[in-house]
Structure 1
């Protein structure tokens, strides 16, 4: 029996900023303006005044020689605290941003639970899993740095700063 998701990630960032500032970048889902390697395009605007049902096409150029494409549909939004999406395409599953203010620090958490659908990734996934996880971490690292730059503030914490790709005989999450 197949597990619920092929990959389940949790990423945590901290910025010296107000969550409303951070929300202005995350809540709009226009990540291509600040996230290197990410291109987003609104492909369906829902009639909801809150953007529930809006669909965005994502093209993510990774550190490895492939691009991932998926559509993210806004499933829930609570300004400026949370945003949930459903993904379909090369990655299928769900993602959720949560923002909390802790003094002068914006704490940002992203949970990403997805299945891969590209046939070559499904076939090679068991052998290349550590490399795929490292690749995900590099994309998130670029996002943290890009968001800090867009905010004009300091990234205080990111748990996705692993620099070197893993050896393929290592066991990781």
Structure 2
């Protein structure tokens, strides 16, 4: 790509603060197979493709994801660095191609969760419209990550010893669940 970035290249830095330890956060975020259960606003389908190695590397999943906007993305997530209490890294391949890095740092009773996401959009809809709608696509990512912080906080509460599950709300569901496909929003 050279020195100039394409209109289809995206770089995001997201920082969350959640009540919990880095180990608790690692146990949740490091287990991609559970994403559709606890982060359903974004993860519509998660299918394990490769069990990977004991340290988590090589583990891969097919993901069908969405944000607030009415389009979906299909991509493969592969863990590229061991899943440890300090974080881990992933690679994306499909409608999104690139890398992501999660880091976890204890700060008192909270963990600071940082996510660096560097991807290029290859889905035809995004490639065609990125030059015009890049700010909307970036806002869509921020919306998805905000739902992630909310959902992670809820999942941490659910996993606490003695938690009264009846008092913990369910995570936000997906938006715009279309019953029929529109030709300009091909999944």
Match of 1:45 among 39, 45, 51: 51
Are positions 1:21 and 2:20 aligned together? no
Correspondence for 1:33:
37
Identify the structure with the greater strand proportion. Answer: 1
Correspondence for 1:110:
115
Report if the CA contact (8 A) 2:75-2:96 is conserved.
Answer: yes
Which is higher, the Rg of structure 1 or of structure 2?
2
Aligned pairs for 1:46-85 (under 5 A) are 46=52, 48-85=53-90
Judged with a 3 Å threshold, the aligned counterparts in structure 2 of structure 1 residues 105 and 44 are, in CA distance, closer, same or farther, namely: same
In 2, distance between residues paired with 1:62 and 1:152? 24
TM-score, normalised via structure 1 length: 0.82
Aligned residue pairs total 152
Give ranges in structure 2 of 5+ residues lacking alignment.
159-187
The alignment partner of 1:77 has SS state of coil
Report if the CA contact (8 A) 2:105-2:113 is conserved.
Answer: yes
Report if the CA contact (8 A) 2:56-2:83 is conserved.
Answer: no
Deviations for 1:30-65, whole angstroms, at most 9, x for unmatched residues?
31121123132211122x211211111111122111
Give ranges in structure 1 of 5+ residues lacking alignment.
154-173
Identify the structure with the greater helix proportion. Answer: 2
TM-score, normalised via structure 2 length: 0.76
Report if the CA contact (8 A) 2:26-2:83 is conserved.
Answer: no
Cα offset for 1:78?
4.3
Aligned pairs for 1:153-168 (under 5 A) are none
Cα offset for 1:119?
1.7
